[in-house]
Structure 1
Amino acid sequence: MKILEETGISLEVTHLLAIGLIMLALSTVLFSVAAGALPYYEDGVYGLLLIMFGLQLQTIGKTPIGSLKRSWPGLISGVIITAIGFATCFIPGVLGDTPKVLVMIILGAGSSLLLLQLVSADEVHRFRNTLDDGVVTHLTVSGAAVSILEILIAVLIAAQIYRPFLISTDIMAVVALLFGIALYYLASMLQKVHRLHAGSEISTNTPGASLYTIMGMQFGLYMLVLGCLLVPVNLGLLPYATSAMHGALIVLLGVQALVSGTMMTFAFKRNWIFFFVGMVFVAVGAFAIIVPDTIVEFLILFIGGFVILGGFHLLYILIWPKPKSAEPTPKPKGKDLLLMIVLLALALLTVALMITFGLSMLIKNLIQGLILAVVLVCFGLSQFALFYVQSLAEKKHLIG
């Protein structure tokens, strides 16, 4: 394995590895919680799972309930689930038991159906005549193990809701550990299948939305949800979880690196180095969400510096002269010219908001309460507008 080569890991497998890593981190924390060594933010766990389920649905159209054709309805559903996950992480108890019930339904009901249909499931049936029997067996066993453990987790969540003192933390830790191992087992089998059948990768072509666009818009969604929730927080109406707020942003950066090979305004080759960087970000972000107030100061410094750097990098991209192509490019006129002017204005607004947000992280009380909420809402809306206009420009081949 050469670390500078493309990983060749499919998106489906990438998501399984990221969620598996989160479950292994959760099990480690839960064992420490049972021993009295660490605190534990339960809402953060359910919020994190919903964020991952939402991102999975948006990027590959796959959920624990099964595979869906990647489409706008699926994308919108994924956005809603992700937004609920953000809110659950940011504000303790704001949605009551709704996140628990939602995770329970996604894992329990979906996995029950998948388990009943496993023998004829697409992932096995479509390769049964062309794969080695050993691969088919391992794929079936790994899929069954994941489904059974998802059902067990759903049962444990139900017990937490209706019989909160029935399940010990040690039991939850063991199940999370087994689930993480099962996800890695399934991921390894699916990756073997994808290597043998290059055409087996799930399509990621949603009309009008590339993976780069979808992952970029998650930061707009994050800022929009956070900005809206900061209004009642600053009015003293709601509590908030600082560590989970920052941890969710780190997880987003990690998933963006794994899925689209980018981190905010930076683009990289999806090699093994960048893959491991993305996994580290997911692990660190998950830890910050699950274990409250342990690495908050480090996250504040890192996020503040990284966002400022990303803002200046975007400004550099905008002002640095592009290399001239061999064939002369026609200059945009009329509506195309207006579109490019709007795109440039939104990009410059994004630069200003990124630098402002980064400075507010590094300099305490630089921007006060409600004003910061307004800045974040504007940041979120500008991101949605930027990627929408950018997608229009890409369709017209005005930008590469």
Structure 2
Amino acid sequence: MNLTKVFDESELSLEVVILMIAGLILLITGILLFPVATGGLSYYENGLYGLLLVMFSLQIISMGKTPFGDLKRSKLVLLAGLVVGGIGTITCFVPDAFSDIPRFMLFLFFGPGGALLLLQMILSKDKLKAWFEYGGIFKHLIAGCTVAYVSSILISILLWNQSLLSVQMTAIFVLIYGAAIAYLSFVLRKIYSSYPQEQKRKDGEVELPIDRAMILFTSVFMIILGVLLIPVNLGLLPFSGSAQLGLLMMIFAIQMIASGSTPIGVFPRSLPVILIGFVFAALGTVSCIIPEVLVYPLTVLVGVLNILGGAISIGKFLGQRASSTDQQKGKIPKILVKLNVSQLILNVLAIAFGLSMLISHLLPGLVIGVVLAANGVVLLYLLHILLVIDRIQKEMETR
């Protein structure tokens, strides 16, 4: 085996990444349901529901892929994705916050959504008929989509009537669905590597690259988390710290696998980075579904990563400032000054959050909530600055 190839950049579209992680979530859930059925493990149902809603949200925000079909990423579609993500986040954090609403949403997404996607595949001239004509890997796409859509419909029936099957039989169906999603992700990866034009952005969509979409979602996530911690610390709401850590790990995982962005810096999307991302996703899934089992190790891990990430970024900034001349410092455009200031604030907030996780009672719970909410607000401001810079660069290229 050529070791240099192990560290080569890997080409994985965000769609493939999300499907791979969704398949992993379902496979882990199916496996965990067996000891849950025997009473060997406790089970936090809302953690799973919230996590699945978050995955649907990321698909909608980043690609315009809804549970009912593909749409242009208009502002309305982005808003709908954020609402789904917000409901999923709160569902994870606050037990029974929305009663049966998350389960009903997932029923709609898996049931009518799966049936509609199956019909679209059968009736669309660009899908089933064309795929048969193409042959080869596209026959695997037909098989993968069919099994995934049918499994989705069956899962929706189990969501509607949870007493229909035993927990063990439900686990088997979840495993089949997870395997189908994972298989489909590998088929799509092969197709996208051979036919990259299949991933082209639709005309009229909101221009929001993958990294920007993740910033948008993370900012909303942080604001919700920060705001919720205020009534939680006042004793007004129950809270699942385990699911909070699980979702944080899942966000880390998606960023790592999709763009190589890790908590301590950006790296090429090599095989080691991708594998670490999947480990993070697996840990996040377990933490969301099985309460308390990973709280201590993930608290330490998230705390250390936040401190290291913030400290490394500040160190790089100070190093660049020290090596630049006075003339270079004076020529920095205002928009870049704003970018640097917002990044510095984020790094300081990350260090403060990391320290609060490692040192108990370092900051009052209410202050931690304010820190996280402020982190989300600054992230939104950073996103605004990045979009302005993108627009300026595009204008310069068209001159």
Offset, 1:315 = 1.1
**Cα distance, 1:118 vs structure 2:** 1.9
Q: Which amino acid aligns with 1:176?
A: V
- Report deviation, 1:343: 2.4
Offset at 1:168?
A: 2.0
Q: Which residue of the partner structure matches residue 173 of structure 1?
A: 171
| Displacement of 1:6 | 2.4
- CA shift, 1:125, in A, is 4.7
Q: Once the 2 structures are TM-superposed, how far is the Cα of residue 128 of structure 1 from its aligned partner?
A: 4.6
Describe the shift of the 1:319–1:387 C-alpha distance in structure 2 as closer, same or farther (beyond 3 A).
farther
**Partner letter of residue 354 of structure 1?**
A
Specify the code of the residue in structure 1 equivalent to 2:7.
L
2:382 alignment partner in structure 1: 386
- The number of equivalent residue pairs is 386
Report the TM-score when normalising by structure 2: 0.90
CA gap of 1:212–1:330, structure 2 versus 1, over 3 A, is farther
Taking the aligned partners of 1:120 and 1:166, their CA distance within structure 2 comes to 32
1:250-285 CA-to-partner distances (Å, cap 9, x unmatched) read 000001111222124511111222111111111110
1:156 aligns with one of 150, 158, 168: 158
Q: What are the residue-to-residue correspondences of 1:69-88 with 2, within 5 Å?
A: 69-88=72-91
State the alpha-carbon separation in 2 of the partners of residues 19 and 123 from structure 1. 23
Q: What amino acid maps onto 2:291 in structure 1?
A: P
Task: Rate the CA distance shift 1:49–1:362 in 2: closer, same or farther, 3 A.
Answer: same
Change (3 A) 1:52 1:301: same
My pick for the range that moved more, 273-282 or 118-127, is 118-127
1:43-192 matched pairs, under 5 angstroms = 43-121=46-124, 122-129=126-133, 131-132=134-135, 134-160=136-162, 165-192=163-190
Separation in 1, partners of 2:82, 2:237: 23
Q: What does residue 299 of structure 1 align with?
A: 298
Q: Is the 8 A contact 2:246 2:285 kept in 1?
A: yes
Deviates more, 1:20-29 or 1:30-39: 30-39
Consecutive unaligned residues in structure 1, runs of 5 or more? none
Amino acid at match of 1:370: L
Equivalent position SS for 1:113: helix
Q: Which amino acid aligns with 2:318?
A: I
Distance (whole Å) between structure 2 residues aligned to residue 299 and residue 397 of structure 1: 40
Partner of 2:319: 320
Structure 1 pair 318/394, CA: closer, same or farther in 2 (3 Å)?
farther
- Contact in 2 for aligned 1:248/1:285 (Cα 8 Å): yes
CA–CA distance in structure 1, aligned partners of residues 308 and 148 of structure 2: 40
Q: 2:361 aligns with which of 361, 365, 369?
A: 365
Q: Once structures 1 and 2 are overlaid, which stretch shifts more, 119-128 or 370-379?
A: 119-128
SS in 2 for 1:110: helix
State the AA in 1 paired with 2:140.
H
Instruction: Report the structure, 1 or 2, having the larger helix content.
Output: 2
Which residue number in structure 1 is paired with residue 220 of structure 2? 221
One-letter amino acid of the structure 1 residue matched with residue 244 of structure 2 = M
Residue-by-residue CA offset, 1:206-240 (whole Å, 9 max, x unaligned): 64532112213333222211111112212212111
Corresponding residue for 1:353?
A: 349
CA contact (8 A) 1:30 1:169 kept: yes
Indicate the SS of the match to 2:354. Answer: helix
* 1:116–1:256 CA distance, 2 compared to 1 (3 A): same
CA distance in 2, matches of 1:183, 1:115: 14
Q: Structure 1: how far apart are the matches of 2:173 and 2:381?
A: 42
Q: Alpha-carbon deviation of 1:127? A: 4.6
Q: Would you say the 8 A contact 1:59–1:204 is kept in 2?
A: no
Does the Cα contact within 8 Å between 2:36 and 2:43 map onto a contact in 1? yes
How big is the shift at 1:126?
5.0
Does the CA contact (< 8 Å) of 1:124 and 1:136 recur in 2?
Answer: no
SS in 2 for 1:321: helix
The offset of 1:194, in angstroms, is 1.9
| Alpha-carbon distance, 1:241 to partner | 0.6
Structure 1 residues 266 and 125 mapped into 2: Cα distance closer, same or farther (>3 Å)?
farther
**1:105-129 deviation line (CA, Å, top 9, x unaligned):** 1111111112223224444455554
Distance 1:280 1:229 in 2: 28
Amino acid corresponding to residue 75 of structure 2 in structure 1: W
Q: 1:342 maps to which residue? A: 338
Alpha-carbon distance change, 304 to 215 in structure 1, aligned in 2, over 3 angstroms: same
State the Cα deviation string for residues 313-335 of structure 1 (Å, max 9, x = none): 221232232899xxx99935xxx
- After TM superposition, the score normalised by the length of structure 1 is 0.90
Change (3 A) 1:125 1:316: farther
The change in CA–CA distance for 1:27 and 1:101 in structure 2 (over 3 A counts) is: same
Letter in 2 for 1:350: L
What code does the residue aligned with 1:5 have? D
Alpha-carbon distance between aligned partners in 2 of 1:367 and 1:318, rounded to the nearest angstrom? 27
Please give the secondary structure, in 1, of the residue aligned with 2:42.
coil
User: Quick check: 2:346–2:379 contact (8 Å CA) kept in 1?
Assistant: yes
Partner of 1:260: 259
What are the Cα deviations for residues 51-71 of structure 1, in whole angstroms up to 9, with x where unaligned? 111111122222332222233
**Structure 1: distance between partners of 2:338 and 2:192:** 41
Computed over aligned residues only, the root mean square deviation of the Cα atoms, in angstroms, reads 2.4
Change in Cα spacing, 1:145 to 1:330, as seen in structure 2 (3 Å) is: farther
Distance between the aligned counterparts of 1:171 and 1:291, measured in 2? 19
User: How far apart, CA to CA, are the structure 2 residues paired with 1:317 and 1:217?
Assistant: 24
